[in-house]
């Protein structure tokens, strides 16, 4: 298990219900690739990064930030999205740069991005979107 996976498990352990366990981990961000390219990579620093975890009931996101040289293992804020609250999941992207849009039943739209090559941040990176869609369908 990666050190970042261990961090995710440690942070979420007190929030899991009876019999609930983390099935998949991921590393997500919300910054558009165009913004990163235009800024020469400077926009990579700061907020807009999330450790994520999927259980059979919900998706957790742990807000963190990127430091000068690497991702910080910090929990700035914890959020959760029940699959029952998701109206639809729209995957997209190209090559290793993937994205998905969550349309929530309350009308909000959340857009997350991930790089499938960033598996050193989360062991479930390559299958995160696929697993999210499967769990949402199973809960529906």
Q: In this structure, is the dihedral angle defined by the CA atoms of residues 68, 10, 81 and 132, taken in order, positive or negative?
A: positive
The DSSP symbol for 71 reads B
One digit per residue, the tens of pLDDT, for the chain of length 140 reads 679 999 999 999 999 999 999 999 999 998 665 444 333 343 444 468 899 999 999 999 999 987 766 778 889 999 999 999 999 999 999 888 899 999 999 999 999 999 998 888 888 889 999 999 999 999 97
Cβ neighbours of 50 (radius 10 Å): 21
Q: What CATH number is given to the structural domain containing 71? A: 2.30.29.30
Q: What is the pTM of this model?
A: 0.86
d(CA 37, CA 57): 36
Cβ neighbours of 48 (radius 10 Å): 18
Q: How many domains does the chain have?
A: 1
Which domain range does residue 129 map to? 3-139
């Amino acid at each position: 298990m990666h050190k970042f996976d261990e961090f995710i498990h440690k942070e979420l352990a007190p929030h899991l219900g009876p019999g609930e366990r983390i099935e998949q981990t991921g590393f997500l961000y919300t910054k558009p690739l165009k913004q990163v390219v235009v800024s020469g990579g400077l926009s990579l620093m700061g907020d807009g990064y999330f450790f994520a975890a999927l259980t059979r009931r919900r998706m957790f996101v742990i807000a963190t930030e990127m430091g000068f040289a690497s991702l910080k293992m910090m929990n700035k804020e914890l959020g959760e999205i029940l699959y029952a609250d998701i109206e639809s999941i729209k995957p997209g992207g190209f090559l290793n740069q993937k994205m998905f849009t969550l349309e929530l039943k309350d009308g909000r739209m959340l857009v997350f991005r991930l790089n499938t090559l960033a598996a050193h941040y989360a062991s479930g990176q390559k299958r995160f979107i696929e697993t999210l869609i499967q769990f949402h369908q199973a809960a529906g």
